[in-house]
Structure 1
Amino acid sequence: MIKLIATDLDGTMLDDRKNIPKNFDAVLSDLSKKKIRFAVSSGRSFCTLKNQFQKYLDDLIFICDNGAYVYDKGEIISTSVLPHDAVVNIIRFCEKLGLTVLLCGKKATWHNAEKASHCAEIANYYVNQVKLDDLTAFDDDIFKIAIFEENGIEESAYPLLKDKYGNYFNVQLSGRFWVDIMNLGITKGTALHNVQNRLGVNYEETMSFGDYLNDIEMLENSYYSFSMENSHALVKKAANFSTGSNNDNSVMTEIIKLCLN
């Protein structure tokens, strides 16, 4: 019996217009009656997720910043703060490469975006933004560094970032244009594992959905793991099952089929 469901948002549960499924209320209510917990698991920060899921704050588990910040029923379960000196080092390295950098912190999302197109992309995923001319002047605890390259990052800056910082931090490809950096050991998967232990739920009782590389560890921590039709090839390889695209309400369809029928 499934007791815990965790799903990525962008490219997974949300459609391409970032809409929550129309039947989300009904499905969440039915899951609650069966005492099945639901976690939204995202690279987005809590301040953004809190805005989008305001009416569900007392119901959902929030795995934010790829697992660096976890919140459940009004309680911060765990946080992982990057060392200040390391954040400054990464900022300077990215500036040399001409990359746009976001610092996802407790107080705000700090960034150095100059182009209007970059600012628009940031606005798709983050609220409470503060632009700094010198990003190293940030005053915050930073949970995650998000790095953006508008022409695609997988074949360009990602290998450079992985080579320079991969032995010291978790450098993850989180989208076509995005790389995220967290402390070593911080992933959606480790966060989900900690939630499982907290709730007394095991691998066989867990369901998860994802589409990109930062979802792989989460999928590996659940038996009912689903890749989306629009997933990266490595995500399809990691999941035990597959479903339709994020634009077909496929997450809700699989939940209804396996948990509510």
Structure 2
Amino acid sequence: MIKLVVTDLDGTLLKDNHEVPERFWDIADRLFRKGVKLGIASGRPHFSITENFRSIMEHLYAISDNGSMIIHNKTELFSKPLPQHEIEALVMAARSAPHGWPILCGKDIWYVENSDSRLIEKISNYIRNFKIVDDLTKVDDAVLKITVLDLMGAEQNSYPYFKQFEDRLKIAVGGAVWLDITRTDANKGEAVQALQQLNGITPDETLVFGDFMNDYEMMKAATYSYAMKNSYSKILEVANFVTEKDNNEEGVLDVIEALCFKS
């Protein structure tokens, strides 16, 4: 019996136009009425999750910034900001990567230091709460995650500049053009395990969905781990199952229907 469902957003639950499938709302209501816990685990910030799921936020576990924070019914269960002394070095590394734009992800706002229209257009697809500052190393705020937007390709172009940090920080390719840096103990897998412990739920009672490398640890936290049909190759390898349909065909919802509501 599934007691916990956790899904990634972009490339997973959401269609390529970043919209929540209309069928999701009825399925979420049925899960809640059945007593199944529902979590959204995303690289997005909490305020972006709120914009998409405002009507059910009091019921959701919102896992934001790749597991750096969990909020449930307006209560922060935990947050894991990056150490302040690492932020300057990370920003400098991002600046040295050609075509890579660093973004500091705070709890309530994102910070950028470039007004390039390509950067602004791209982040506006995901969030509205961002601020352009002169120098990211001078930002006085808790930073849950540093994201690098690289339109040349995050894995090929920007990732090599951050390999030096892998002994002490989590460096994850979050999408074709996104590279995410968090604490090593801040990932979606740790967040799912925290929800399991909080609610007395086992991996055998847990269903998760993801598509990219920031979902890697989460795939290991559940017996029913589903990679999307459209997933990155390494996620297809680590997941126990693969959806029959991709994100644009509502593959997540078909699996939930089959596993959570079967008679």
Q: Do the two structures share a fold, i.e. TM-score over 0.5? A: yes
Does residue 123 in structure 1 map to residue 124 in structure 2?
yes
- Structure 2 Cα separation of the partners of residues 210 and 224 of structure 1: 12
Q: Which runs of 5+ in 1 are unaligned?
A: none
Aligned residue pair count:
260
- Kept after mapping to 2: 8 A contact 1:106/1:142: yes
Match runs of 1:22-33 below 5 Å? 22-33=22-33
Q: CA-to-partner distance for each residue in 1:174-222, whole Å, 9 max, x for gaps?
A: 1111110001121100011011000100000000000000101111100
| Structure 2 counterpart of 1:19, one-letter code | E
1:21-170 to 2 correspondence within 5 Å?
21-98=21-98, 99-161=100-162, 163-170=163-170
**Aligned twin of 1:17:** 17
AA in 1 matched with 2:115: E
Q: Distance in 2 between matches of 1:30 and 1:53?
A: 16
Q: Identify the residue that residue 192 of structure 2 maps to in structure 1.
A: 192
Give the direction of change, closer, same or farther, for the CA distance of 1:96–1:192 in structure 2 (3 Å limit).
same
Alignment of 1:185-224 (within 5 A): 185-224=185-224
Larger CA deviation: 9-18 vs 128-137: 128-137
Distance in 1, matches of 2:173 and 2:97, equals 17
1:174–1:214 Cα contact (<8 Å) kept: yes
Cα distance between partner residues in 2 of 1:112 and 1:245: 35
Q: Give the Cα–Cα distance (whole angstroms) in 2 for the partners of residues 48 and 20 of structure 1.
A: 13
| CA distance in 2: counterparts of 1:82 and 1:127, whole angstroms | 23
Cα separation, 2, equivalents of 1:251 and 1:183: 28
Q: TM-score, normalised by structure 1?
A: 0.97
For 1:247, the equivalent position in structure 2 comes to 248
Residues 6, 40 of structure 1: 8 Å contact kept: yes
| CA displacement, residues 159-179 of structure 1 (integer Å, 9 cap, x when unaligned) | 221x21111111111111111
SS state at 1:81 partner: coil
Residue 16 (structure 1) shift: 0.3
Find the residue that maps to 2:236 and give its secondary structure.
Answer: helix
Matched residue of 2:225: which SS?
Answer: strand
For 1:49 and 1:28, how far apart are their aligned partners in 2? 15
Contact 1:12–1:211 (8 Å) recurs in 2:
yes
On the 8 A contact 1:107/1:140 being kept in 2, the answer is no
Tell me, in whole angstroms, the C-alpha distance in 2 between the residues paired with 1:156 and 1:106. Answer: 28
- Contact 1:174–1:213 (8 Å) recurs in 2: yes
| Separation in 2, partners of 1:32, 1:234 | 32
Question: Please, what is the CA RMSD of the aligned residues?
Answer: 1.1
Letter in 2 for 1:44: R
C-alpha contact (below 8 Å) 2:93/2:161 kept by paired residues? no
Is contact 2:5-2:38 (8 Å) kept?
yes
Aligned-partner Cα distance in 1 for 2:79–2:15: 29
Q: 1:4 is matched with which residue? A: 4
* Cα pair 1:206 1:223 within 8 Å, conserved: yes
- 1:11: how far off? 0.1
Matched position secondary structure for 1:49: helix
CA distance in 2, matches of 1:25, 1:247: 16
Q: Percent identity?
A: 31
CA distance in 2, matches of 1:171, 1:23: 34
